[in-house]
Structure 1
C-alpha cells in the first residue's frame, strides 16, 4: 500500500499536546490523547490551516475528502497511531485501510486519510513502521463508555432510544453484509460503537474499528481449518460477544455474516443493561463464558422501572440463536426492529 508521510515531527515527544503531525500533505496539531489499546494510540488533533492549504476558507483536507459532510466544522479530528513491529502487523494495518475504504455509510466510521511510514532506529538496527489513520472525532465516547457512566448513575436508555441506536447499527451492518462479496465486522461490541448525543435528537450511533473485518463467508472442510478459525477468532473477536460457531467450530461448516448477528444481539442486550448477556458466567463459581454462549443461557437482570417490554427480550432471544443456520439475517432484523420502533416510539 503506497502510503506516504511527509514532514513528520515525532509523535513520541508530543503525545499530550503541542506537537504537529503531518498526514501526507496536511498538518495537524496534537491537542491531547483520547485513548490507547494494544499497539494503538488515539489523539485529538486540529488541522493547521496555512495559506498554501486554504481552499475557499477550508483546510487542505477539503481537497482530499470526497464526502464533504465528513469534514469537521472546527477542524478537529481523531488520529489513530499504530506501532508496527513486524511484517504480519504491517499487513494487518494495510488490510484495515483497504477494507475501510470499501465502506461509505453514515453509520460506519469513515477513514479520511492515512499514512504508513518507516521508522529507523529499531532494536538491532532494523526499521519498523508506524501507521497514522485519520477519522472524524466523536467526543461523547463509545456505548461502553456511556454504559459505565449510566451504571454509576443508575440510568437506562429508554425503549425508544434502545431501538433507535440498534436500528442504526443494523443499517451500518447491512451495508457491509450486502456488499458483493459480503464482509463481516467480526467485533461488534459496545466498545466499537461511537455514540453522539445532541439535544432534541436520538443518539447517533456509528460502528468503528475494522481491524478484524474480513470476507464474511468461509468454507470449513477439515478439523485443522476449524481450529485455525477458532484460533483466529480468539485473537480478533471479543469473547463476551463472540458467536458460538467461533468458539466450537465443526469440521464441516459454512461460516457467514451471521456471526455478526450474534454479536449484534449481544450488543442490543448491552445497550439495555450495560454488559453482554453472558458475562454473568465470569462471576459464578465454576462458571464458563464459553458454555453460557454455546448454550445461549441468557439471564435478564433488573432493568429500568418500568422495565423493557417483553417483546424486546424476545427480540434479543431471536437474534441469539446458537445454531447459525436458523439465526436471522440483517434484512429480516431490520423489518422486525422497524415494527418495534413503530410500536414503542411515541
Structure 2
C-alpha cells in the first residue's frame, strides 16, 4: 500500500516518495473529491481522487476500487498511478492518483454539442462506442461487471479514445440470488451504486431466485449509445420529471420522431 507523508503548507502531498502540487478542484461528489495536481518531478498533471471512508465498510469499498484499477492494464480502462490511505483527525481518506484526461467526460462533450444544436457524427459515435465495448469486454473477461456505466463515467482523450472510470461499483459479474433476503440486499445495493436512468430492469425488482450477471452492463451500454445519438439518455427525462424509471424500463424505448433515421442505421450495425 502506498504511503502519504504529508500535506505541506505549499499545498502539496507526497505519495510513494513522489510529490504532487495542488492546482485546482475538478469535481465533488457525495463522499469523494477530485483535484487537479501536478507532479513535482515530471511536471505532468494528474487527477487526485480523495474518497472519504466514514466507516470500515467504506474503507473496504475504497480498497476494492484500488484493486479493480490494479487488475487491468487496458487502454480503455483508467489506470492507477499511486494510492494511499490517510488517517487524519479520526477520519480515513483513500487518495488515488489517476491520469488526468483534459478533454473530460463523454457527457461533457455531449452537453457542448447540445448547447450548439449539433449532433455527434456517426463515425465518431462508432469509434467511441467500439472503445467502450473493448474496455467492457476486458472487464467481463476477468469475471467482473462495471455496474455503473454511463456517459459521466467515460473519459475521452484528444483522439476520442474512451476510458472507463469510477470502478467503485464493480463486483463479480455473476451474482446468484438465493432467497428474498439476498434479493433485497442486491436491490438495495443497486439503488445506492447503479445510476437509476442507466440501471438494468433486473436490478429494480430483483427476483428471489435468479442470477444477476454482466448483461446489466449491456443494458447500460445500450443507454450510452442512445445518449450519444440523441444527446440524452433514454430515461433521463423520465427521471427528471419524477416519473417511474422502474416502470419505464419495462417498455420499449421510444425513438423521437426527428431521429427515426437512426433506427434504420442501427439495424445494419454489427460489432
TM class by shorter chain equals: over 0.9
Larger Cα-atom Rg: 1
2:11 to 11, 14, 19: 19
What TM-score results when the alignment is normalised by the length of structure 1? 0.74
- Equivalent residues of 1:159, 1:308 under 8 A apart: no
In structure 2, distance between residues paired with 1:83 and 1:220: 30
Does residue 3 of structure 2 align to residue 4 of structure 1?
Answer: yes
Does residue 144 of structure 2 align to residue 183 of structure 1?
Answer: yes
In structure 2, distance between residues paired with 1:128 and 1:313: 53
Aligned position for 2:179: 222
Does residue 269 of structure 2 align to residue 312 of structure 1?
Answer: no
Aligned position for 1:288: 244
Aligned position for 1:46: 38
Write out aligned runs for 1:66-145 (5 A). Answer: 74-120=43-89, 127-145=90-108
1:36 to 28, 35, 50: 28
1:24 Cα deviation (Å)? 2.2
What TM-score results when the alignment is normalised by the length of structure 2? 0.94
In structure 2, distance between residues paired with 1:222 and 1:312: 39
Q: 1:241 to 1:271 in 2, by over 3 A?
A: same
1:3 Cα deviation (Å)? 3.8
Aligned position for 2:253: 298
| Bigger strand fraction | 2
In structure 2, distance between residues paired with 1:259 and 1:130: 30
Aligned position for 1:333: none
In structure 2, distance between residues paired with 1:161 and 1:302: 23
1:307 Cα deviation (Å)? 4.6
C-alpha distance after superposition, 1:134-180 (max 9, x if no partner): 1110111111111211111011111111111000000001101011x
Aligned position for 1:153: 116
Tell me the matched-pair count.
Answer: 271
- Equivalent residues of 1:278, 1:299 under 8 A apart: no
Tell me the SS of whatever aligns to 1:101.
helix
Tell me the SS of whatever aligns to 2:208.
coil
Q: 1:282 to 1:80 in 2, by over 3 A?
A: closer
Structure 1 residues without counterparts, runs of 5 or longer: 11-17, 50-58, 60-73, 121-126, 316-335, 338-346
1:92 Cα deviation (Å)? 0.8
Q: 1:309 to 1:291 in 2, by over 3 A?
A: closer
C-alpha distance after superposition, 1:207-245 (max 9, x if no partner): 101000001101112111111111000000000000001
Write out aligned runs for 1:232-247 (5 A). Answer: 232-247=189-204
1:271 Cα deviation (Å)? 1.1
Over the aligned positions, Cα root-mean-square deviation in angstroms equals 2.0
In structure 2, distance between residues paired with 1:178 and 1:240: 26
1:98 Cα deviation (Å)? 1.2
1:312 Cα deviation (Å)? 1.8
